[in-house]
Amino acid sequence: MPYYPALLDLSGRLVLLVGGGRVAARKIAALLEAGARVRLVAPELAAETQALCAQAGVELRRRGFLPADLEGAALVISATGDQALNRAVADEAGRRGLFVNVVDVPALCSFIVPAVLRRGDLVVAVSTSGASPAAAARLRRDLEGRFGPEWALYLRILKLARARLTALGRPAAENRPLFYRLVDSGLLATVAAGDAAGAEGILTQVLGPGCGLAELGISPGDFTAGEGSKGR
């Protein structure tokens, strides 16, 4: 059965994570980065997991899983090597209508987690629908060369330019072709080269006066601080 791809806003939402090993540590780090609150249930903790439990946003219940641990959770992840426990977590989550991911056991999952490449606001998610996580990870690594660090600043400029044009009160029908012209311009190449002057020229040529880097809140230093330099 094909999956429906989606990006979740977990800001301030509670995620139940069962398991205290190194896989759980990676899950905690990713969930906290997404702004989620984490309830961790595990009797034993790996060193990496123990260190993360000291961070704000992590509630540790150092014991075995109980159905009551699901109270208030928006999402459930089970990352243990105990298949009976994984099934118990999945079954209880299913009874409560909660989406659950059991790491490396697609048959028990109501959602799966893709391999992810991030460049600022750019999120590239790769999935083989559970067929081969290793292949998904390899493809993600291959995409790192296609989408370099310059994409973070590039998308930041596009986002601010869109907000600027909208704030100027121009009709959407007039703005839309300008956005596409900007995307089809050489802006990405100038950002990758760290060429602030070139980016300034493209912005004012495509969008007109009042839409340069300064008006967007971008400084030339942003092009050399790692965000806009492909070689960094």
CATH class of the domain at 1-113: alpha beta
**pLDDT by residue for the chain (232 residues), tens digit each?**
789 999 999 999 999 999 999 999 999 999 999 999 999 999 999 999 999 998 889 999 999 999 999 999 999 999 999 999 999 999 999 999 999 999 999 999 999 999 999 999 999 999 999 899 999 999 999 999 999 999 999 999 999 999 999 888 888 898 999 999 999 999 999 999 999 999 999 999 999 988 999 999 999 999 985 555 553 3
Nearest to 181 by CA among 211, 153, 151, 152: 211
Helix axes 196-207, 172-184, angle to 10 degrees: 150
Whether the pTM exceeds 0.75: the reply is yes
Q: Which residue has the tokens 């300034």?
A: 200
- Contact residues for 20 (Cβ-Cβ < 8 A; gap 6+): 40, 42, 43, 44, 45, 46, 49
In the chain, domain spans: 1-113, 114-147, 150-223
- Rounded Cα distance between 28 and 33, Å, is 8
In a 3-state reduction of DSSP, which class is residue 166? helix
Are the C-beta atoms of 86 and 105 separated by less than 8 Å?
A: yes
- Contact residues for 121 (Cβ-Cβ < 8 A; gap 6+): 152, 155, 156, 159
- Pairing relationship of beta strands 122-126 and 100-102 according to DSSP bridges: unpaired
